[in-house]
Structure 1
Amino acid sequence: MQDKVVVVVGATGGIGSALTRKLAPTGARLVLAARNSSALQDLATQLSVKSVLTVPTDITDRTSVNALMEQTTAQFGKIDALVNAAGAGILKPYNALEPADLEAMLDLNLKGSFYTCQAAAEFMQRQKSGHICNVVGILGKHSMAMAAAYSASKFGVVGFSKCMAEELKRFGVKFTLFYFGGVDSPFWDNIQLKVDRKKMLSTETAANAIFYALQAEPQAVPMEINIQPDSHLFF
């Protein structure tokens, strides 16, 4: 990972911050993106890394996403990897979902991920290399009651990721999709479902999986990584 330029979207979240701490000692050049500028600065201060760039970014705004990638390439000259770890969840019965709920899930989880992938891929295609890691979650592969809007957004991420992977593989750009089960992160802080967070995966476990994929040999493409807790999470 020495001198690899890694853009972490959602860097201040549970999985994102755990990953940045994993990457910091490797000599990677880190670009930290999230909405909260003060949280980004706090995270950057905590990391023992020489090359770090913080870029406050609203991934639901394509102009903001384009600025993130432009600042990255202006500072470091390339983008070796993009990790999409940003996301939020609204879990409620289908008939209780308001239009604003659906729009929020689609804007952040689906459109936001698409914009970041699209913008990063433009630079990766030119340099003929790159790795895009999308943290989908298990509800992007399997359905669950109360998750209609959330799963709609995450199934969409899987769809566009696989299409982009087909278009970009001849340019040396690879995709890895991560289907984690419940991860004990701030994601669950505002979720009303009764879950046993002690039985969930840790953010470090998720970060280790992403770190493994980022270190894969150029000819090796870990297309999907599934990690689930071995116990039931819901009461």
Structure 2
Amino acid sequence: MNGKVVLITGATGGIGTALAQRLAESGTPLVLAARQGEVLERLAAQCHQWGSTEVLAVPTDVTNRLQVESLFERSYRQFGTVDVVVNAAGLGILKAVHQLTEAEFDQMINVNLKGTFLVSQQAVTRWMDTKASGHLFNIPGILGQHPMGNASGYCAAKFGVAGFTKAMALDCKRFAIKFTLLYFGGIDSPFWENAGMKVQRDKMLKPQQAADAIYFALQVPAPGVPTEIVLQPDSHLFY
């Protein structure tokens, strides 16, 4: 990673934690963001044990603009830069459209789409203003590419993430910023504990496999850019 600083939102979730471990083992300086401060501090301590000598943990609600701005301010004060941002914060409530409440719909739009917007906007603005470089990872997941029953609200948010990121890439085309969309499907993570749907988690991908895919994308030498990565378990394939 050559000393690149990586910021991960949703760091205490399945993919976020697996990625933090994968990067810590390579000695990568990390900024970890999530809402639960105590859980975040424990993860930061683990990252030190795994091999990262520089870890900043910042409790952050990605739906709050002021907290997102503070996250980046603290990151730049400590490291002087943020080279990579991975938006791993997410929320899913899977219900048929006639059962989905307005509050649940708003919650998914706020966390998945607005949160991605606020973090992405802050990242690319700083990169454009300072060094014209950087790598942003957003995670629409496979339900940001293929619709599924009982997921109308979640798909609305995740399709939005995909469209937003592609349009944002056009806005930033001349600034040498890399964008990667991650279409992961069927990840065995805590996501499913509150999603409202019974699934066969033993047939899903492990968060470590998602982390390995992100790590691979970070290793692609210039001028290559992995713009989209699709990773699914064989039991979830769309043809």
Is the TM-score greater than 0.5? yes
Q: Tell me the number of residue pairs that the alignment of Structure 1 and Structure 2 aligns.
A: 233
Instruction: Write the distance in 2 (CA, Å) between the matches of 1:164 and 1:128.
Output: 15
Instruction: Write the distance in 2 (CA, Å) between the matches of 1:132 and 1:111.
Output: 16
2:172 maps to 1:201: no
The residue that corresponds to 1:137 in the other structure is: 141
Please state how far the C-alpha of 1:169 moved relative to its aligned partner: 2.3
| 1:1-235 mapped onto 2 (5 Å cutoff) | 1-47=1-47, 48-125=51-128, 126-232=130-236
CA deviations on 1:128-178 (whole Å, 9 max, x unpaired) are 100000121100000000000000000010111001111112111011000
Mean Cα deviation higher: 211-220 or 34-43: 211-220
Indicate conservation of the 8 Å contact 2:185/2:236, yes or no.
no
TM-score by length of 1: 0.97
Indicate conservation of the 8 Å contact 1:2/1:26, yes or no.
no
Indicate conservation of the 8 Å contact 1:88/1:187, yes or no.
yes
Q: Gapped runs of 5+ residues in structure 1?
A: none
Code of the aligned partner of 1:134: N
Please state how far the C-alpha of 1:218 moved relative to its aligned partner: 2.9
Indicate conservation of the 8 Å contact 2:6/2:83, yes or no.
yes
Q: Secondary structure at the match of 2:157?
A: helix
Indicate conservation of the 8 Å contact 1:199/1:231, yes or no.
yes
Q: Secondary structure at the match of 2:234?
A: coil
Determine what percentage of the aligned residue pairs are the same residue: 52
TM-score by length of 2: 0.95
Instruction: Write the distance in 1 (CA, Å) between the matches of 2:97 and 2:176.
Output: 41
Instruction: Write the distance in 1 (CA, Å) between the matches of 2:74 and 2:120.
Output: 16
Instruction: Write the distance in 1 (CA, Å) between the matches of 2:140 and 2:7.
Output: 17
Indicate conservation of the 8 Å contact 1:136/1:154, yes or no.
yes
